[in-house]
Amino acid sequence: MDNVHLDLTKFFNSNDLNKSEQIASLAKKIALGANDDTPAFNASSLLDVVKDPKANENSKFCAWYTIFVHMRRNKSSTTNLMKFVENFRHMFNHHPLFMIALSTVYMLNHWFDNALSQVEKALCLDSTNLGFNATYVDIVLSWANSNNEHKQIGISTWTKTKGIIQFLIDENPKYAKYHYFYSQYLLYERDLEEAERQILLAINFEDEESNDYLLRISDYQAHHLKLRTVQLETSMSSEMEAISHAHMELIKDQKAFEDQINSMREEMKDSQRHNLQFITVFIAVISILLASIKATSIANTKDLIDFMLILSMTLLLFFSVLFGLIGTKSHRLQVFYTLLGIAVSFITINWIV
C-alpha cells in the first residue's frame, strides 16, 4: 500500500464521521475538489482505504461514498454504478447513506418502487435528515416525469411528497433546490402561477460560488422553459376550446334555423293542400246541389234512375280524387288531383245544366 493510501486512512480516521451529514459533506468536498484542506481525489487510493483493516468502519464507508459521488458527478453509466454498489453491499448494507446511494441507482434504472423502499429504510434510521428527505422527493418527481405506465404513484405517496417538500423549505427557506422541487410538484398539480414563482426563487437563491452552479441553473432554466411552454399550451387550449364551443353553438343555431325553415315549408304545404281540398269540396257541393235540383224535375222513373246512376259514378270519382288529394304529400300530385276534381265537378255541372 502506498503513502497516499496511508495518508488518506489517517485523514478519514481523524475526522468525526459518526453522522451521515458529515460523511456526505466530506465525500462531496473530496470528490469535487472543492476544498484545498481535503486530499485530492484518487479512486485507487480510496479503494485501498475501503480495504484497509486499520481504517475504522466510518472511514471505509466515507472513502467508498466519495468514489460513488465522483462517479455520479461524472455521469457514470447505471450499469457501472450498480456494479460498484453491489460489490460492496455486503460491507455497507446497514449504513443509511448506502441505502440512499442504492436508491439513487434504482431511480436511474426506473425501479421507483425499490428506490422508495430503500429511502424509507434510511428515513426510519434518520427521519429528519434533509438529504434523505430530498432524495425521497427527487425519486417521486423522477417517477412522475418518467411516464412509467407500469404502475401509477399512489395518492398517499404523492401527498407525503408535498409534506416533505414543505418540511424542507421550512428547514432551509433559501436553499434553491427545494424550491425547484416544489415548482416541479406544482407543475404536475397544474398550479402554474405558483410553480413559476417557485422556480424564479430557485434561480435567485442558487449559490453562484458552488461548483455545480452552472449545471443547476441549466436545470432550473430548462424547467422554467418547460413551465412556460405548458402555460402557453394551456392558454391556447382554452382559446381553442372557446372557439370550438362557439363553432358548436353556430352549428346548433344553424340547425335550429334550418328546422324552422323546414317547419314553415311543411306548414305552407299543409295550407296549400287544405286550400285545394276546400276548392275541390266546394265545387263538388255545388255539383251535388245542382244535381238534387235536377233530380226533382225528372218525372220519368227510368230517366231518374239513369240520372242517379251517373251521379253516383261521378261522386265515386270525386271522392277517389279527394282521398288521393288527402293522401299524397307531393305538391304536383295535389295540383293534379285538384284540377281533376274541378274538371269532374264542371263536367257534372254542365251535364246537369
Lowest-pLDDT choice from 13-17, 61-65, 188-192, 348-352: 348-352
SS3 content of the chain, % helix, strand, coil (to 5): 80, 0, 20
Q: Give Rg (Cα) of the chain.
A: 48
**pLDDT reported for residue 158:** 93
Q: Could you identify the residue written with the cell 353553438?
A: 249
Taking residues 110-126, report their average pLDDT: 94
Lowest-pLDDT choice from 85-89, 128-132, 166-170, 266-270: 266-270
150 — pLDDT class (breaks 50, 70, 90): very low
Residue 157: helix, strand or coil by DSSP? helix
Is the pLDDT confidence value at 175 over 80?
yes
The contacts of residue 31 (CB under 8 Å, 6+ apart) are 41, 66, 67, 69, 70, 73
Is the pLDDT confidence value at 276 over 60?
no
Residues 138 and 161: beta-carbon distance below 8 Å: no
The DSSP output letter for 128 is T
Is the pLDDT confidence value at 209 over 70?
yes
CA distance 269 to 260: 14
Question: Who wins on pLDDT, 72 or 37?
Answer: 72
**pLDDT reported for residue 341:** 59
pLDDT tens-place string over residues 234-265: 877 766 676 677 667 777 777 776 777 777 76
Question: Who wins on pLDDT, 69 or 294?
Answer: 69
Residues 146 and 158: beta-carbon distance below 8 Å: no
What is the set of domains in the chain, with CATH numbers? 3-237 (1.25.40.10), 258-352 (no CATH)
Residue 200: helix, strand or coil by DSSP? helix
pLDDT tens-place string over residues 312-335: 666 655 655 555 555 555 656 656
Question: Who wins on pLDDT, 344 or 40?
Answer: 40
Cell numbers of 86, please? 453491489
**pLDDT reported for residue 31:** 86
What does pTM read for this prediction? 0.67
**With pLDDT > 70 as the criterion, what percentage of the chain qualifies?**
68
